[in-house]
Amino acid sequence: MRLDDDLHFALRALTGHRARTWLTLLAMGLGTATVILLSALGEGARIYVSNEFTQLGTHLLIVLPGRNETTGGPPPLLGETPRDLTLDDAIALTRSRLVEQIAPIAVGSAPVSHGNREREVTILGSTAEFQPIRSIELAQGRFLPPGDLARGRPVAVLGETLAQELFANRTALGQWVRIGDRRFRVIGLLSSTGVSLGTDLGDLAIIPVASAQALFNSPALFRILVQARGRGALAPAEEAIREILRERHEGEDDVTIITQDAMLATFDKILNALTLAVSGIAAISLIVAGVLIMNVMLVAVSQRSAEIGLLKALGAARRQIIGLFLTEALLLASAGTVGGLLSAYAGVSLFNAQIDAFQLVVPLWAPLAAVSVSLATGLFFGLLPALRASRLDPVAALAGR
């Protein structure tokens, strides 16, 4: 028997029982489609997050005060240290050739008021360089002016929500607001870029870092953002920063430096694991579909025992019978998988056409894994019925018993 005879026979058998063939295909297709769609969702989320990180600015190093010597422990994201990271430390960092620009950040919260309206918001003290480093867009006016870091000018840039709350629909530019016990002139409004990695850029005020330090009466910086000169300079820049700060801190290594890549890698790992877990759960449905294939094939074998008997009487070897039924099972599995793949890809492109903010991306491994898993299930679950068919006694089978 040749291969195309084999295929022909199996196809005829399948088209002979349309209802059950369609249902089996549906089950297989449903399983494949969910695996692909869920993995596309996970991959889409991963790409979305990594885009968010690139938005954060490229070649970025974040210096925070304090260091934990716990292996694998989290860095001290929040908390005080006996030796603060100061503005002078930040200025000293610019002396390194590897550092393109820096943005010191002081954070606190204070009431911002205009007229009789008041709102308690996060106050971010920074410098003109904060804008290019975090790629912040302005809706109106300008950002903090460049100049001497240590001089605190009474100017402020407001987030959109804050401006709306204080000024309603009147123009905010050029107005005076009171932050804590000081007065600041509004020189710019942030555009509503929304939430950037946990910080709501709508509900804050940005003032010069020296003003913030005076406002909160504390010389401590919360973070220093450092932009390195190019990607290759990241590692040497980290080393240089550590060296400079160690010198300034009496030989003590008391800062934590986080690179953007390290953060991104962590997120990547988490999201990849999640995607795999979710796709794995969905793949259980492929096994259920495999059980269904086995069931249908068993029914087919018992219904077609006379036919098998005839084949055997005509001299078909056991191997040939096994081949016939395995081909049928594999055909069912692969056709279902192809249908599932097609509908999954159609669903993904439909989703992407409708929604711009979030794109689904089918990872390369997903269709490969789905196809190999479903073919394996087809083979595995087709084997038992095929073996049963091959073991039929030709005389008894022909007699229809």
One residue of 48, 216, 267, 380 binding other proteins per CB under 8 A: 216
Question: Is residue 284 at the binding interface for other proteins, with CB under 8 A as the rule?
Answer: yes
Segment lying near other proteins (by CB under 8 A), choices 140-148, 164-172, 195-203, 355-363: 195-203
294 belongs to the binding site for other proteins (CB under 8 A): yes
Distance, in Å, from the CA atom of 266 to the CA atom of 258, rounded to the nearest integer, reads: 12
Q: Does 315 bind other proteins (CB under 8 A)?
A: no
- Smallest separation, CB 94 to other proteins (Å): 24
103 binds other proteins (CB under 8 A): no
Smaller CB separation from other proteins, 49 or 107? 107
SS3 122: strand
Q: How far is the CB of 352 from other proteins (least distance, A)?
A: 22
Which two three-digit tokens encode residue 173? 């530019």
Return the number of the residue (101 or 196) whose C-beta is nearest other proteins.
196
Nearer to other proteins, 100 or 160 (CB): 160
In the beta sheet, which residues pair with residue 199? Answer: 196
Does residue 81 interact with other proteins by CB under 8 A? yes
Give the angle 75-43-286 at the CA atoms, nearest 5°.
125
Point out which span in 131-139, 199-207, 351-359, 367-375 binds other proteins (CB under 8 A): 199-207
Contact of 92 with 223, CB cutoff 8 Å: no
Q: Which amino acid is at 271?
A: L
Structural tokens at position 381: 């679950």
List the one residue from 2, 15, 19, 169 that touches other proteins (CB under 8 A). Answer: 19
The tokens for 378 are: 């087809």
For position 69 contacting other proteins by CB under 8 A, the verdict is: yes
In the bound state with other proteins, the residue whose beta carbon lies nearer, of 172 and 296, is: 296
Q: Any contact of residue 120 with other proteins (CB under 8 A)?
A: yes
For residue 18, the tally of other CB atoms under 10 A from its CB is 9
Q: How far apart are CA 42 and CA 39, in angstroms?
A: 5
- 275 near 46, Cβ under 8 Å? yes
Measure the CA–CA gap between 220 and 206, rounded to whole angstroms. 17
Interface with other proteins, residue 340, by CB under 8 A: no
Query: How far apart are CB 203 and other proteins at their closest, in Å?
Result: 6
Q: Is residue 195 at the binding interface for other proteins, with CB under 8 A as the rule?
A: yes
Q: How many residues bind other proteins (CB under 8 A)?
A: 66
Closest approach of Cβ 98 to other proteins, in Å?
A: 26
User: Which of 80, 88, 60 has the alpha carbon at shortest distance from 247?
Assistant: 88
Residue type, 222: F
Q: Does 285 bind other proteins (CB under 8 A)?
A: yes
Q: How far is CA 27 from CA 12, 143, 377, in A?
A: 21, 58, 13
383 in contact with other proteins (CB under 8 A): no
Q: Hey, what are 216's tokens?
A: 């909160």
- Name the one residue in this structure whose structure tokens are 């029982």: 17
| CB neighbour list of residue 204: distance below 8 Å, 6 or more residues apart | 121, 122, 123, 124, 158, 159, 162
**Closest distance of CB 323 from other proteins, Å:** 22
Is residue 318 involved in binding other proteins (CB under 8 A)? Answer: no
* Cα distance between residue 79 and residue 222, in whole Å: 9
| Residue 199 found at the interface with other proteins (CB under 8 A) | yes
Tokens at 168, concatenated: 């309603």
Residues within the interface to other proteins (CB under 8 A)? 17, 19-20, 23-24, 26-27, 30-31, 34, 38, 65-70, 73-74, 76, 78-82, 84, 106-111, 120, 122-124, 180-181, 195, 198-200, 203, 215-216, 218, 220, 222, 252, 254, 278, 281-282, 284-285, 287-289, 291-292, 294-296, 298-299, 303
